[in-house]
Amino acid sequence: MIALIAAALFPLLALVGSSIDMGRLYVVQSRLQQAYDAGTLAARKQVAGMANFNATSGDDQLTAINRGRMLFKSNFPDGMYGARNLAFNVTVNPDLSIKGTASLIEPTTLMAIFGLTSVPMAITCTAQMTVTNTDIMMVLDVTGSMNETLSGDSQSKISAVRKVVKDFWSQTATNQVPGTRIRFGFVPYSTNVNVGGVLKDEWVVPNWTYQSRTLTNTSDANGTYSFYTAISPVSGTSSSNVDQSYPASFDLFTLKFKCKNPLPPSTGTPSIAQTGSETKPFAGPPAGTSTVLTYQRTRNGADYSVAMQGLTCIVTKTTYLNYVDTWQYITNPAQKSNVKWSYQPVTLSTAGWRTDSNGCMEERATYEIDDYANVDLGRALDLVLDRVPDASNPATQWRPQYPDLIYERQLDWSGGGSFDTGVKVTNDEYIAPGEAGFAACPPPSKKLQVWEAADLDGYLTNLVAAGSTYHDIGMIWGGRLISPTGLFASENADASPSNTTKRNVIMLTDGQTAPLDISYGTYGVEPLDQRRWTPNSPISLTQVVEKRFTYACNAIKNKNITVWFIAFGTTLNPIMTDCAGPGHSFSAANSTELAAAFAQISKGVSNLRISG
């Protein structure tokens, strides 16, 4: 009987022992898999986070491998569960995926009685960064300061941006999973954005009113005209020679080279006398009398004059000795036509805007907002990102820019004067912002599309820098061009509820908000048009731009679009960090740090995936 019981216990013991060991082995297998996943993903993240990672570099590979081993060991230390021959190895493939193997030998307990003393375990998988359907809108600052070169760099900021954006695109394309779609769009911005190429004809007004001027005849009247005759020498001597030369200076206000150094003081005071006066009949028409005044000048001493030859200023000294010359001042009757400029708002047809305008647009209807927590979106149509224009309602449409037709009354070219909204009739010439360099229009924006390398190279090469920093219009159009429910919903919507698209806006700037009231921008000439700000507003134009930027950024995030912000060669300020949110803003002091920032964004845009 005892023998029978013993015989019955043996298979029961085997059954119980196998159950205990199998449960234990399952726990070990799960923990090994967990440690393996942590190690391989850590190695892949290390690769993604290293700017300019070289898959053929032993040092670069070792850095990633050691990072993976460290995470593996922290999850499965030596001797855990009594495991023997614990091993973990990773290699970096040319496509930057990580291939890993993990193995161990796990001793058994009760099963050892039956001759099974240990069980080998092994895992072999690949970790790779993958990108599902993804849209990325690049909102790039191309203001004039992007032409500068940062300390420690050998290339301008705009050149560094071209390279890093191309590298970012290449890395994202490398991570793409077959059957998925990756699209990039671009919004270069400065004083305005160039979006004419993405607009439909019916989205643009048929006519618009601009701060311009017209010729006007104020009256016809009889009058006089006067002139000086040529100066003729009488006696004495004069001699001239080059006294000095110096380089001409560039005048930022007129955007021209000028000779600015003061001239040496002249010596001697000319003696001028009126030597005669007469009247005589004018050989009309019209009939009348001429008045002739005769003058004589005597000079001794030295006088100086300056003239520009090429980009060199030449100062000439002229020495006079008892030098006498003479001239006449003659007044004749005339019938004059009093033609002047009338500076005022002028309504013009925009029918030819496709070929006549520069591609930049004035914004649609808005108002001066006093409470940004309660914006009236029935009036602030510029902040309604998804509003599709209605051809029967011009307030909803955009207005083409014509910088060559704009004049800023009453600012004169010498820098004097002040803005005045009233009509001004005068022969004076007021500043034309298109000629003065205050109406920058960036390279064209691009809708989301799948790019070929050559096409992207060509586009990035044409990114040139000019203009001032208006962050709001960049963010507004970045949101419009990526929104899945707005102007381009038919192109941007998800393929299906189960095939969604990850959407990202990446905004890069090298400066703080810096609008100029003298600029002709997306809201016209701000002190004259006064659509969103007036010189008497309680807040500055800079604050208006930043509040609208924040409103637009929040509207974009409310669409489940991720916003990233990079401050390149400048500091991050609260509007930037608040817009991007925690972990989504970066400060880059040079091109190396810029590449590292984009590498971090690449990890956020991509997905880490383990495949067997």
pLDDT at 179: 79
pLDDT at 369: 97
Q: What is the mean pLDDT of residues 499-507?
A: 93
What is the DSSP track for 468-483?
-B-HHHHHHHHHHHH-
Please report the sign of the dihedral spanned by the C-alpha atoms of residue 603, residue 604, residue 605, residue 611: positive
Whether 375 maps to a domain, the answer reads: no
Q: What is the mean pLDDT of residues 204-220?
A: 86
Q: Any idea what the CATH number is for the domain that residue 477 is in? A: 3.40.50.410
Identify whether residues 113 and 142 lie together within a single domain.
no
489 forms beta bridges with none
Does 17 score more than 50 pLDDT? no
Q: Which of 88, 111, 130 is the last residue of a domain?
A: 130
* Most confident range, picked from 11-15, 255-259, 312-316, 420-424: 420-424
Identify whether residues 140 and 74 lie together within a single domain.
no
Q: What is the mean pLDDT of residues 605-610?
A: 65
Distance CA 82, CA 88 (A): 16
Whether 377 maps to a domain, the answer reads: no
Identify whether residues 182 and 230 lie together within a single domain.
no
Per-residue pLDDT band for 65 (boundaries 50, 70, 90) equals: confident
pLDDT at 359: 95
Identify whether residues 161 and 114 lie together within a single domain.
no
pLDDT at 24: 75
Q: Which residues contact 186 (CB under 8 A, 6 or more apart)?
A: 137, 138, 140, 445, 446, 459
The residue ranking higher by pLDDT, 449 or 152, is 449
Q: How many domains does the chain have?
A: 3
Q: Over the range 85-106, which residues count as b (16 or more CB within 10 Å of their CB) and which as e?
A: ebebebebeeebbbbbebbbbb
**Residue-wise pLDDT tens digits, 378-437:** 999 999 999 999 999 999 999 999 999 999 999 998 888 999 999 999 988 999 999 888
Q: What is the mean pLDDT of residues 364-373?
A: 97
Does 605 score more than 50 pLDDT? yes
Q: What is the mean pLDDT of residues 564-587?
A: 96
Distance CA 473, CA 521 (A): 10
CA 455 to chain centre: 20
Distance CA 371, CA 56 (A): 57
Give residue 457's domain range: 134-193+439-607
Identify whether residues 292 and 224 lie together within a single domain.
yes
Does 4 score more than 50 pLDDT? no
CB of 172 closer than 8 Å to CB of 134: yes
**Residue-wise pLDDT tens digits, 514-535:** 999 999 999 999 999 999 999 9
Identify whether residues 450 and 595 lie together within a single domain.
yes
Q: What is the mean pLDDT of residues 589-597?
A: 94
Q: What is the mean pLDDT of residues 82-102?
A: 81
Lowest average pLDDT, out of 44-48, 183-187, 341-345, 366-370, goes to 44-48
pLDDT at 610: 56
pLDDT at 12: 45
pLDDT at 111: 66
Identify whether residues 531 and 592 lie together within a single domain.
yes
Identify whether residues 180 and 300 lie together within a single domain.
no
The residue ranking higher by pLDDT, 461 or 115, is 461
Q: Which of 339, 369, 402 is the last residue of a domain?
A: 339
Whether 202 maps to a domain, the answer reads: no
Whether 74 maps to a domain, the answer reads: yes
Distance CA 137, CA 553 (A): 13
Per-residue pLDDT band for 13 (boundaries 50, 70, 90) equals: very low
463's tokens = 């990114």
Identify whether residues 86 and 114 lie together within a single domain.
yes
pLDDT at 130: 62
pLDDT at 51: 56
Whether 357 maps to a domain, the answer reads: no
Lowest average pLDDT, out of 1-10, 12-21, 302-311, 597-606, goes to 1-10
Residues in the chain, total: 612
Q: Which of 105, 130, 155 is the last residue of a domain?
A: 130
Q: What is the mean pLDDT of residues 53-59?
A: 70
Of the chain, the percentage scoring pLDDT greater than 90 comes to 57
For residue 361, the 8-state DSSP code is: E
Whether 394 maps to a domain, the answer reads: no
Q: Could you give phi then psi for residue 560, rounded to 5 degrees?
A: 65, 35
The residue ranking higher by pLDDT, 420 or 221, is 420
Whether 199 maps to a domain, the answer reads: no
Does 467 score more than 50 pLDDT? yes
Whether 172 maps to a domain, the answer reads: yes
Identify whether residues 303 and 233 lie together within a single domain.
yes
Identify whether residues 106 and 240 lie together within a single domain.
no
* Most confident range, picked from 28-32, 90-94, 557-561: 557-561
Q: Which residues contact 269 (CB under 8 A, 6 or more apart)?
A: 301
Identify whether residues 233 and 164 lie together within a single domain.
no
Q: What is the mean pLDDT of residues 552-581?
A: 96
Q: DSSP H helical segments within 387-525, as ranges?
A: 433-436, 453-461, 471-482, 489-492
pLDDT at 253: 66
